[in-house]
Chain A
Amino acid sequence: MDEVTRQKATPNEVDRALAHLDPDAGRPSNVVDVRSLSLQFGAKTVISDVTIPFERGTITALIGPTGSGKSTFLRTLNRMNDRVVGFRHEGEVLLDNESIWSSSQDLLSLRRRVGMLFQRPNPFPMSIKDNVVAGVKAHGIAKGRELDVVAETRLREVGLWNAVKDRLNDSPYRLSGGQQQLLCLARALAVGPEVLLLDEPTSALDPLSTEAVENLLRTLVPALTLIVVTHNLGQARRVSDRTMFFYEGRLVEHGPTPALFESPRDPDTARYVNGLMG
């Protein structure tokens, strides 16, 4: 019998081998890259000259006082603002190195890749199960009996399966607010997004539901990249890797969450994270 001699793989070979395992290999490490972005509604500038990369597989929190442009910034990333009358943008938003406004970018598949969860739960007027698979059906990702599997998988993923498995065909509006929000999360996850935008996802929920959603968000990385707008500074500290502080349309400061909260460089940031600003 031959002696098996094991040779060490060169770093290059490791990379190549891993490339087959890691679907993200070869892609830019910044899944979303915002460059010199300015946003206006009519004559009013809501976001001025923001440049910020979002690293793949991380959670970024967007904080800032009310009216500072957080929602506007977030809703631009999946082009929800495009149809707002008077909306204009300068600068670029790159998704995997391609501009989200480039002509080769299909709006519908862009929104499939960049999902969104809203401030209040917004289930569709259809059964619980149909809610989960609504996007899957629209994109033709699955059909027939596969839909049942998708529904179960996603409901399990958000921890809702046991609560709703006996009433999949019932109206979603009889679920509690927290359950409805989890349902909407399941619906957003079902189409397999790469990025998930969350605009104050727990502001309408009680503390327990909030905790459930927060815990869930941590399980979604590094498979997904999350960008979360929140007024809840505790939430930002608990869930996010990085934090961005917006003030009057400017990105005043950003950095690793602990650093930004414990040793803010900017006086406005310091006032805000210490609860001294509105």
Chain B
Amino acid sequence: MIRYDILKTLLPIISDTLVVCNIGLPSQELHKLDDQPSNFYMLGTMGLCSSIGLGLALSQPQKVVAIDGDGSVLTNLATLSTIANNVADNFVLLIIDNGSYGSTGDQPTYAGRKTSLTAVAEACGCENVVECSAEETAGAVKAALASDQMTVIVSKCESGNVAVDVIEMNPVVIGDRFMNEVRRQNSGG
């Protein structure tokens, strides 16, 4: 299974959940599969998906799933220490670890070699770290959302992408639509 297959299995679980999605192909694939006001697409800024997700989770009570990648987390590795030390039990960080920089031509990352992001997350102090296969990922995300405990999931999957279009939505429209959805969910609407 590649990331696109995992995203498909996640849709029934995350479709209505606030999602912050990593730059490049992950956002483009999610946008193609299931464009929702509850999706925040990153159009730039490599590495900050987990940080945006944590800031959002700390600032309001609705559940937040950040769909990040191994290359992105390696770019911003200290984020795992910030996450560990600022516990938001409404936050799930899903690292889709395909061992490659998917959006730039599948060059290998160190996570696909000697480096274990699971072990790094644990060493940073994250208390609920789950490493799973691609097939197990949807179940792991469902369980994490139900647990009311901040969880980091490292989903080990195959490298590969599908052909998708770039997102042509204006960033301010993405942000405004998303913030309206955050407000709607928090007003019980």
To the question of whether A and B form a pair in one complex, the answer is: no
A-side residues, CB < 8 A to B, are none
